[in-house]
Structure 1
Amino acid sequence: MNNSHGIITIYPGRTSHAAITSITLNKPCVVGCSTAVIDLEQKTVTFRGETDVVVKEGELITLDANGGYVYRGTVPLSNSFIRTHDILDSIRKLTSATDAVREVDRIIHEKIAVLAKETGFRKKVVTSVAREKLSGKNVLVRLDFNVPLSKGKITDSTRIDAAMPTIRYLLENGATPILCSHLGEPDKQEKKGKSREEIYAEYSLRPVAEYLCDHFANVVFHEKSIATSGVLIEKSDIVKGSINLIENLRYAIGEKENDAFFARGLAGLSDGIYVNDAFGTCHRSHASITGVTRHVNLKMAGMLVEKELKYLGGAVSEPKRPFVGITGGSKISTKLGIIESLLQKIDQLIVGGGIGYTLLKATGFDVQKSLVEESMLETAKKLMDKYGDKIVLPRDFVTTDKFDFANLCVGNLQRNVKTIKEGWESFDLGEESINHAISILDKAQTILWNGPIGAFEIKEGSYGTIKLSHELARIAGEGKAVIIGGGDSAAAVKMAGVAERMTHVSTGGGASLEFLERLTLPGISALDSE
């Protein structure tokens, strides 16, 4: 309990020792979650209900100790509290109970409107700000330069390239951009026996600075700007009119801990202006994502984040119909939140991969050795009972008697089979399943894809995912909205060579999943609204 951030109990006692202890520790506590089932072997907690919610070890949850609620993920928090004495002051002079009720109702609805703006996805964008507000000003820009490296060289510059429009816009409008990002997890390397010098050399943003130098005239890399203790440079060190790149934010202990002192240090380099263009990290409440916004006057979305909000937010909140989703991947538990959220909004959901096999088994179909999340079968059955008319299950399969993902190889194959042989397993969808999916997608106006429908990393299991990628590119070319939700789906369309033909390919990954589930993220909620 002492090491926790919050406490949940399943069985409350008469006086609840946990609740009393949590008060002394100044920690939130929710007691009596009697529907929760802890599985120590699977390392999950399942909250039973009309539709089960499964939380895995390592996932983030939010506790509301006032209302006794447990939320999956990082729920946006607001400072727009209604103060009791404000209500009392407003109604003290009123003479009738009816007038008092109306006044309280007005105050509540006023605050609800404020909350809607805070937690909505329509945010102030850097391109909407007048030039005079940017010209001559230092602007702190949070970007996602977490790029893959090999021997100190960048092997994929996609994330840096995606940030360039915002950088150029700031320069063209007379601003001095101060770029900051994390790279990897240097904070975990000391436990592996590496010296601090080795860590700083391996995780430095210098390769990023060198790449930027190839594309911009004036780039200043502040090599010793961030250390364990925090920010080591001052505002006077920033070179006006140039791109200023500071070191890896995760060198500082305060970054992940969302330390206020570190956040103030970052904000202090700017003239009170902050731009977040790192959508892939917006689901984290880190100092450079949420903490810094408390110490600046103007906080905006960059051009990349604007695009993510436009397509991901618009697709879910105001889709053109029919709205069809596609989801796959190995485990249903990792996507349960988004699946449930989407099923309430979409017209049909095409499923494949381990998610499809788990749902199939829940209906009584014999999937043999195909990838199934056994602990989720009861939840899968509830999903089928509730949304079976919307869920499009596989009709035929590509199967093998030996599936070795580690070595990317398979044994004997059977394609387009309706049943799976004893001891065999499916690792891709068959021709009939793919063609049926395409017939549904052809009628759709909005399509959202998150998760490959087969083991596309293996040649023999890539047919379904690759064909689907090409068909979606064709559909996007017809003017329909085709949105790829990041992660493995983005990798799949890139491998198929059709990423540029999609309406939008998200840069998010985990952030995309959380955003699609809740239509906001901590880093988005912290920005100014339109």
Structure 2
Amino acid sequence: MSWKTLDQMELDGKRVLTRVDINVPTLDGVVTDATRILRIAPTVKHILASGGRPVLLAHFGRPGGERRENLSLKQLVPTLEQAFEAPVVFAADCVGTEAELAAETLQPGQILLLENTRFHAGETKNDPDLAAGMARLGDVYCNDAFSAAHRAHSSTEGLARLLPACAGRLMQAELEALESALSKPERPVTAVVGGAKVSTKLELLSNLIEKVDTLVIGGGMANTFLAAQGYDIGVSLAERLMTDTAKEIMAKAKDTGCAILLPRDIVVARKFEAHADNETVALDACPSDAMILDAGPESVAAITDVLQASKTLIWNGPLGAFEIEPFDAATNAAALKAAALTRSGQLTSVAGGGDTVSALNASGAARDFSYISTAGGAFLEWMEGKVLPGVAALEE
């Protein structure tokens, strides 16, 4: 760990420019899901308790460098005050005279929320002048937005180079979880990768097979690999033009000593709808007019055996069409097994990605995983082995 945490920074009397992700869903100006706001509360409360004055930087939506009132952060003030249990002052810009005055006059115990950083076109271009303008508003920089760390923007990368910088509590938790899962894991390590397309996860698969002991492939991706092995997959979702790529991935895995676990039996149906008539068949018995919608019980047994023998688990993507019953069975069973092993202290489990979070929540397994990332793109790019500009700037 070469980046600093809040505990290593002197905050008393300092204005702490804090990059957060409060890009929350709203309806008619009212927040409908405050999860992201609640997750940054520990950072904000720590700064206040340490005598610091938090100055929040954030984007909201995609205004494209233009001021759009429906994307103003002002509408979030009531929810922020409730979550932080402190008064929130709003400034109608994130740079300039008004913002500087608001930062200078911010009182102890107060929080300053600056206007949407993406109202400035220079934000997404990492404009150094915009970053310099932001830097004038604080004494210390704290990045608590891991979800935006894969973008080199003025408020994530440029600003970190201009002030003493550290990671906030949420950023720290994300980085520590990912480091324990990929950089310095306890072995054996298993990765579960599912979802629809191989093409969107090529870099992820290529990186993982060099770092994990077993790679479990599920969902529509598994169909492509089964087709590459010569199995008839009927009318299943698959990328038939990617079968050669699938073969290359399997060959590379063999060279690196990574075992690839594909379905051993399949659940098929003629209709993609809830409770459609379905049957479990062997891999070589998929009807030509049916589609594979889930892995069967033999496959689940094989996966749970692997999990039982593992010390670390990384999970991204469901094993089947988890959105509709009963094709969520394999995902739920494997997730609950991972949760039980984590709960008993036998497994460190880290998961991330939109569908993954939804699936783990639906199964009831989420609460027992070691860490679940809501960062989306940043989580995937980290798993792909890419350097995240927002993290790299903290390290430097």
Using structure 2 for the length normalisation, give the TM-score. Answer: 0.93
Task: Report the 3-state secondary structure (helix = DSSP H, G, I; strand = E; otherwise coil) of the residue aligned with 1:324.
Answer: strand
2:370 to 462, 480, 503: 503
- The correspondence of residues 207-246 of structure 1 with structure 2, limited to 5 A, is 207-226=75-94, 231=96, 233-238=98-103, 239-241=106-108, 242-246=110-114
Cα pair 1:399 1:413 within 8 Å, conserved: yes
Instruction: Write out per-residue CA displacement over residues 52-100 of structure 1, whole angstroms, 9 at most, x where no aligned residue.
Output: xxxxxxxxxxxxxxxxxxxxxxxxxxxxxxxxxxxxxxxxxxxxxxxxx
Cα pair 2:157 2:390 within 8 Å, conserved: yes
Higher relative contact order by CA 8 Å / sep ≥ 6: 1 or 2?
2
**Radius of gyration: which is bigger?**
1
Cα pair 1:400 1:410 within 8 Å, conserved: no
1:399 to 252, 260, 268: 268
Q: Partner letter of residue 175 of structure 1?
A: G
Instruction: Write out per-residue CA displacement over residues 340-374 of structure 1, whole angstroms, 9 at most, x where no aligned residue.
Output: 11111111111101211111111111112111112
Q: Aligned equivalents of 1:500 and 1:518: distance in 2? A: 27
Shift of 1:439: 0.9
2:135 to 264, 267, 270: 267
Cα pair 2:2 2:395 within 8 Å, conserved: no
Tell me whether 1:136 sits opposite 2:4 in the alignment: no
Who is 2:57 aligned against?
180
Cα pair 1:416 1:431 within 8 Å, conserved: no
Who is 1:301 aligned against?
167
Bigger shift: residues 302-311 or 379-388: 379-388
1:170 to 47, 72, 80: 47
Q: Which runs of 5+ in 2 are unaligned?
A: none
Q: Partner letter of residue 324 of structure 1?
A: T
Shift of 1:471: 1.2
Cα pair 1:473 1:501 within 8 Å, conserved: yes
Shift of 1:232: 5.5
Who is 1:122 aligned against?
2
Shift of 1:292: 1.2
Tell me whether 1:460 sits opposite 2:326 in the alignment: yes
Q: Partner letter of residue 265 of structure 2?
A: D
Count matched residues. Answer: 388
Q: Aligned equivalents of 1:233 and 1:459: distance in 2? A: 54
Q: Aligned equivalents of 1:528 and 1:440: distance in 2? A: 36
- The correspondence of residues 76-95 of structure 1 with structure 2, limited to 5 A, is none
Instruction: Write out per-residue CA displacement over residues 243-291 of structure 1, whole angstroms, 9 at most, x where no aligned residue.
Output: 11111111111111111121111111102x1000100110001111111
2:26 to 149, 163, 175: 149
Q: Aligned equivalents of 1:162 and 1:428: distance in 2? A: 33
Distance verdict in 2 for CA 1:486–1:127, change over 3 Å: farther
Q: Aligned equivalents of 2:14 and 2:339: distance in 1? A: 42
Cα pair 2:132 2:162 within 8 Å, conserved: yes
Shift of 1:164: 0.8
Cα pair 1:182 1:250 within 8 Å, conserved: yes
Q: Aligned equivalents of 1:319 and 1:519: distance in 2? A: 18
Who is 2:380 aligned against?
513
Instruction: Write out per-residue CA displacement over residues 323-344 of structure 1, whole angstroms, 9 at most, x where no aligned residue.
Output: 1110001111211111111111
Percent identity (aligned): 37
Cα pair 1:275 1:302 within 8 Å, conserved: yes
Who is 2:125 aligned against?
257
Q: Aligned equivalents of 2:365 and 2:97: distance in 1? A: 44
Q: Aligned equivalents of 1:355 and 1:438: distance in 2? A: 20
Shift of 1:225: 1.8
Q: Partner letter of residue 90 of structure 2?
A: H
Q: Which runs of 5+ in 1 are unaligned?
A: 1-120, 191-195
Who is 1:19 aligned against?
none
Who is 1:470 aligned against?
336
Q: Partner letter of residue 378 of structure 1?
A: D
Q: Partner letter of residue 145 of structure 2?
A: A
Tell me whether 1:204 sits opposite 2:72 in the alignment: yes
Who is 1:159 aligned against?
36
Cα pair 1:466 1:493 within 8 Å, conserved: yes
Using structure 1 for the length normalisation, give the TM-score. Answer: 0.70
Task: Report the 3-state secondary structure (helix = DSSP H, G, I; strand = E; otherwise coil) of the residue aligned with 1:364.
Answer: coil
Task: Report the 3-state secondary structure (helix = DSSP H, G, I; strand = E; otherwise coil) of the residue aligned with 2:123.
Answer: helix
Bigger shift: residues 214-223 or 310-319: 214-223
Instruction: Write out per-residue CA displacement over residues 204-227 of structure 1, whole angstroms, 9 at most, x where no aligned residue.
Output: 22342111211334323325224x
Task: Report the 3-state secondary structure (helix = DSSP H, G, I; strand = E; otherwise coil) of the residue aligned with 1:289.
Answer: helix
Instruction: Write out per-residue CA displacement over residues 183-219 of structure 1, whole angstroms, 9 at most, x where no aligned residue.
Output: 111228x8xxxxx6xx31x212234211121133432
Task: Report the 3-state secondary structure (helix = DSSP H, G, I; strand = E; otherwise coil) of the residue aligned with 1:225.
Answer: coil
Q: Partner letter of residue 236 of structure 1?
A: L
Runs of 4+ in 1 over 6 A off after TM superposition: none
Tell me whether 1:427 sits opposite 2:293 in the alignment: yes
Q: Aligned equivalents of 1:317 and 1:528: distance in 2? A: 16
Q: Aligned equivalents of 2:231 and 2:314: distance in 1? A: 27
Cα pair 2:99 2:114 within 8 Å, conserved: no
The alignment yields a C-alpha RMSD, in angstroms, of 1.9
Cα pair 1:400 1:412 within 8 Å, conserved: yes
Q: Aligned equivalents of 2:97 and 2:59: distance in 1? A: 16
